[in-house]
Structure 1
Amino acid sequence: MNRAQLGAALRALRVASSKEAKAVARSALMSPSKLSKIENAKLAASATDVERILTAIGVSDEVKAEYAEAARASATEATAWRLLKRIGVHKGQQAAKALEAQMSMLRLFQPVLVPGLLQTPEYIRAVLQRHNLSEDALTRTLSGRLERQAVLYDNAKALRFVITEPVLRWRIVPPQMMAAQLDRIVSISRLSHVDIRVVPLRIQQHDIANHAFVIRDDRMVTVETVHAEVVVTNPRDVGLYVDKFDGFERVALSGNEMRSLVEGIRDDFLREQETG
């Protein structure tokens, strides 16, 4: 059940109950405007919203449970990569840029690749080539990602990155380019509103680095899977990602200790280039 179907169902149940919208909204502890937006699919209803509305209407516990679960399901949306490719991967960069313009805080966890906002052009190109894009689409998407990086210099935003040490060692580009990529991470880490941390391999871990995810404020999480991009907006589910990020952030190296680790790996790449 999507947002529109859920809203229509809630409206139908309210009409069937013969209760006026204002009375239902009052009992559900929300404004009539919010109720109207939910019923007309202009606003996503949380499971709590649905439970309050249905309690105000007076339906059974079984019906409440069914529709609350539908609300939780509709709070997670997945868009397959094949569909994004069809409409233009570069448009995904435009959408991300718009989201980043509106947010005040970004928290990004990445156990596999250098985060897109920190990537060099050579690294971006190497990553995008896995999508089998045309040269034109690749160039437009690369340009879009570089344009997004302007957000790094907006000191009104708090940008927090946690990556794992294997990210620094995973050979996406040749050694000299990897060294340049690591230099960029060190450079960006010196910005006052940017916090970059690295989880080192040497420490005992108490969590599993399942996959990458991005938290924008406390409202939305974006997850990249093999087949799709998943967007999570259910507050309870968003909270799970916040907790996971916080856990890795606490054990990660920061500041000069982090930069020392990154520079050591960079020097390894440079020595390899010299002897290769």
Structure 2
Amino acid sequence: MTSFQQARIDLGSQLRQLREAAHLSGKELAERLHWQPSKVSRLENARQTATEDDVVVWAQAVQAAPETTDELISQAITLLERHDDWKQRHRSGLAALQEDIRDLEARTKLFRVFEPGIVVGLLQTTEYARHVFRKVKRLYSAADQIDAAVRVRMQRQEILYDRSRTFRFVVFESALHTRLAPADVMRGQLDRLLAVSTLPNVEFGVIPFDAELPSSPINGFWIYNDAMVGVATMTKDLVLRDPDDVALYVRAFDDYAKVAAFDEAGRDVIIRILHGHGRQPSH
């Protein structure tokens, strides 16, 4: 067991003790917090990492002492700032990992996402996601929860239709060519991108093969509001909160966006790739 997982177990145990001391069942606490009961269980059993917001509202609901609340907040912040081991996270379950991400997205109003090699999870079709999760399961020996993980990923996409949120996606053209699924699945995925790119709160940019790049792409990254950056490597999930780090990634995103094709120009790139597959776009 990693030190990260042990710290998550310790925090979950403390949360459970506070709930029980308040004589609340998991269902009763969930009702007070307007959560799904499963989230209470996931946090207590260390299948999901509690955020600062999670522990604050939990402490308020059970009327925890101020010093106890401060300690819980400190532990939650430390967990989020740690380098999270991907192999350990995937072993806790593909679906649980998707729930972690969904909770973070629910607190975000402005998304800026750069992905050089894969279609962004929020934009994936069911079948494309299924093939991606199968590969993740094989690489990380993840718990076999592919159907549940796909279901949660599709539920996450409902946030795209919330007009109060803004989404800016930038991907490389190569990501749309990369065969992570059979050809018919890839064609369906491209059709999906054509449709989503027309949503009024979504900007979808494609960096064409012939674009001169502002810098060498190393990893994809997600910027949540102006407060946090998630950077996924092969072995670690980095969570960056330092303002200087966030500002650097914002500048990098803006640089990539400047050389990307958006709106009709971006859709033209997608249509060209569809034509290469011998398929007329349906949108």
| Fold shared by both chains (TM-score > 0.5) | yes
Partner of 2:145, secondary structure, is helix
Counterpart AA for 1:116: G
Counterpart AA for 2:129: I
Number of the residue aligned with 1:215: 223
1:81 to 2:86 alignment:
yes
Whole-Å separation in 2 of the counterparts to 1:75 and 1:93: 16
Partner of 1:270, secondary structure, is coil
Report the aligned-residue RMSD: 2.9
Cα distance, 1:149 vs structure 2: 0.7
1:151 to 2:169 alignment:
no
Whole-Å separation in 2 of the counterparts to 1:256 and 1:123: 24
Number of the residue aligned with 1:42: 73
Number of the residue aligned with 1:105: 110
Partner of 1:114, secondary structure, is coil
**Which protein has the larger Cα radius of gyration, Structure 1 or Structure 2?**
1
Whole-Å separation in 2 of the counterparts to 1:123 and 1:242: 28
Listed one character per residue, the Cα deviations across residues 97-128 of structure 1 (whole Å, up to 9, x for unaligned) are: 11111111111000000000011111111111
Instruction: Please list, as runs of the form range in 1=range in 2, the aligned pairs for 1:223-234 lying within 5 A after superposition.
Output: 223-234=231-242
Counterpart AA for 1:126: H
Q: Percent identity?
A: 31
Number of the residue aligned with 2:35: none
Number of the residue aligned with 1:115: 120
Whole-Å separation in 2 of the counterparts to 1:137 and 1:174: 21
In 2 relative to 1, CA 37–160 (structure 1 residues): closer, same or farther, beyond 3 Å?
farther
Listed one character per residue, the Cα deviations across residues 150-195 of structure 1 (whole Å, up to 9, x for unaligned) are: 1111111001100011011111112222111111001000000000
5+ unaligned residues in a row in structure 1: which ranges?
A: 5-35, 47-70
Cα distance, 1:142 vs structure 2: 1.1
Cα distance, 1:136 vs structure 2: 4.6
Cα distance, 1:85 vs structure 2: 2.1
Listed one character per residue, the Cα deviations across residues 171-225 of structure 1 (whole Å, up to 9, x for unaligned) are: 1112222111111001000000000001111122221111111011011111111
In 2 relative to 1, CA 87–210 (structure 1 residues): closer, same or farther, beyond 3 Å?
same
Whole-Å separation in 2 of the counterparts to 1:185 and 1:259: 8
CA contact (8 A) 2:87 2:142 kept: no
1:203 to 2:211 alignment:
yes
Partner of 2:171, secondary structure, is strand
Taking structure 2 as the reference length, the TM-score comes to: 0.69
1:260 alignment partner, one of 268, 271, 277: 268
Partner of 1:139, secondary structure, is helix
Cα distance, 1:89 vs structure 2: 2.2
Report runs of 4+ in structure 1 exceeding 6 Å deviation.
36-39
CA contact (8 A) 1:77 1:232 kept: no
How many residues end up aligned between the 2 structures? 215
1:125 to 2:130 alignment:
yes
Taking structure 1 as the reference length, the TM-score comes to: 0.71
Counterpart AA for 2:194: V
